[in-house]
Each structure stands twice: as C-alpha cells, then as structure tokens.
Amino acid sequence: MTDPRRLTLILNGKAAQQKNVQDAVSAIARQGHRIDVKVTESPGDGERFSREAVKAARRGEIETIVAGGGDGTLNAVVGGALEADTDPACSFALMPLGTANDFARNAGIPVDPAQALDIALTAPARATDVASLKFDDGQKPRPFINMATAGFGPRVTSEADPDLKARIGGAAYLLSALARIGEVTPWSGRIRADGFSWEGSFAALAIGNGRRAGGGVELCPLAELDDGALDLTVIEAPEGDVLAGLLSSLPLAVGLKPDSVIRARASSFEVETDSLIPVSLDGEMLEARRFTLSVRQHAIRFHLPDQPPPR
C-alpha cells in the first residue's frame, strides 16, 4: 500500500449517487487514505470548493485535489484553484465521469472510478500546462486545460440532447452535428501569432493544449500537455461554403490532414472574427469576437499515467 494520502474530491452532483463512485471512495478510505468529498449542487460550486482546497493545501492539510466529473468540472476545479493560488501547493487528478471525457482520453486516464483514483494515489504528478482565454473587453481571463473550440463545434456541443448523451455518450455530438450541419453559416476572421498570420472564412477552429475534443476527435494531433505551446487547427470554409468545409474535414477523425485544414503552433494566438462566435472552453460556453489564447507552461502538477495513450 502507498503511504496514507490526503485528498479532496470535488464531485459533480450528477455523479454523486453512482454506486461505482461511492464504492471507489469507500475503498481508498478503507486503505487508510483520507478523502474529503465535496459535491457540487449549483453553478460556481466547483470553483469555490477548489479555492477552499488550495488554501487548505497551503496550510498543509491536503495533498491532492481530484476533479470528479467531465471536462467542464475539471476546468472549473483548475480555474478556481489558480484564481486562489497561482502556484498551488497541491497536485491535481481526475476521476472522469463526463460524456466525452476528452482530457481523460488524451491523457490515458481510465474512466473506471476506482482505477482513476488509483492513478491519483500512485502515478507521479507531472508538470502540466494550463491555457487561458483573455477577452479584449476587460473580463477576467478564463483558464482551460484541454482545448478551446470556436464555431460549429461549440454550437453542436451546446445543442446536443442531454438524454441522448446519457444513453450513447460522445456519439451524441456526431448525431447532433449531422442534424444541424445544413443550418450553419461560416465565420470570417483573422488569426495572428509569432511567425503566423491567417485570414479567411472558416467552419470551426480549435486551439489545443490537449489533442482531443468532441468525444475523442483528434483535432490538434501534435499538442502536448507540457511543452509550453498551443496547437491551432482551422477548418476552412471554401468560398464561404461551411458545409463543404466540414465535409472535407471529416478525415480528421481518422488522423489525416485534408486540404481545408490549416495548422500552426505558438505560445499565444490572437483571434478576431467579424461577428460574435460561440466558443467552448472545455465545455464552458461563451461568445466573443476578439480574444487572445495563451499558455502558461508547468502551471500545475497533475497525476497522469506513466504511459500516454497511443496516437
């Protein structure tokens, strides 16, 4: 057995009654570890619990914060922690309980709650980057650990049927996309970074610290969680035809790079669109026209499996 550990599990309220979650928590408590469970019930609870937890970590009362939920829960936990302490004294881990679990897919974290908690207890805590989106209107920056997407993807995510997601998981996003694909108009805009500039019409874009979004699609295949860089993927809409752009980008799902896809890497990207565009930060839905995405290298320590998943 590992030495007794002190953890705080910030658990999405929708998963609190799952027997496999309760069994996993009980099992590590029986092993002598101390695990304090905080269940979110209202918006903002995840951030609040995380702020409290990093303060407790600074006092030496806990060692690891575990986010129990999907990518949105993880985003809230990491964001709340960094808001309270820019250099947290604790490490972080994930019990993936969401629909898509894109960060977990990217990092190789098992979706079984007991196995995920074992990673939190036994795997090394690695230095991990955290990205952020900064608006041009003075709003506070919004952190994200996996990926920011804009355009068609966030619209699909926000409109996917919750009951369908509960039944078939990430495949619900694909069905939602197919149902709405003819209704979407393209966006036009400009993207700038050191040594890179692009302008045109696009169906969707992704800026990744991680590689996968939308239920496992590898939108940013070269992204790494610790390299101090973000990976940009732009799905162009040829001659303003968003449908053609999306259809021509389908090879992304099997790891190919179609002609309609633009890619770049940088530590920061400035994005400006001609109209408001839906943006998703690990599932948090926003709208914006001008924003900057940047990455802070090695912002937190995260418990990750020794071997990354195969590409």
* pLDDT 10s digits, 23-58: 999 999 999 999 999 999 999 999 999 999 999 999
Specify the pLDDT at position 62.
96
Asked if 122 and 305 touch (Cβ cutoff 8 Å), the reply is no
pTM: 0.84
pLDDT digits (tens, 9 = 90+) for 247-288: 555 545 444 455 678 899 999 999 999 999 989 898 888 889
Specify the pLDDT at position 283.
80
Q: Which among 306, 294, 303 is positioned nearest to 133, based on CA atoms?
A: 294
Domain boundaries in the chain? 6-123, 133-298
- Strands 230-236, 196-208: pairing is antiparallel
Instruction: Name the residue type at position 286.
Output: L
Tokens of 248: 């021509």
Asked if 279 and 286 touch (Cβ cutoff 8 Å), the reply is yes
How many Cα atoms within 13 Å fall on the side-chain side of residue 215? 19
Q: Going along 13-97, which residue ranges are E strands?
A: 34-40, 64-69, 91-96
Mind telling me the catalytic residues? Answer: 284
Helix (H) or strand (E) holding 299, with range, is: strand 284-303
Displacement of CA 41 from its chain's centroid (Å): 21
Asked if 158 and 177 touch (Cβ cutoff 8 Å), the reply is no
Asked if 107 and 225 touch (Cβ cutoff 8 Å), the reply is yes
d(CA 15, CA 253): 29
Residues 6+ apart with CB under 8 A from 139: none
Mean pLDDT in order along the chain per 10 residues (311 residues)? 86 94 96 96 96 97 97 95 96 94 92 97 96 87 92 56 41 42 74 96 91 81 94 79 52 53 94 93 88 97 78 47
The DSSP code for 280 is E
SS3 149: strand
CATH architecture for residues 6-123: 3-Layer(aba) Sandwich (3.40)
User: What fold is seen in the domain 133-298?
Assistant: Tumour Suppressor Smad4 (2.60.200)
Q: Which among 133, 136, 93, 162 is positioned nearest to 282, based on CA atoms?
A: 133
SS3 221: coil
Whether 6-123 shares its CATH topology with 133-298 is answered: no
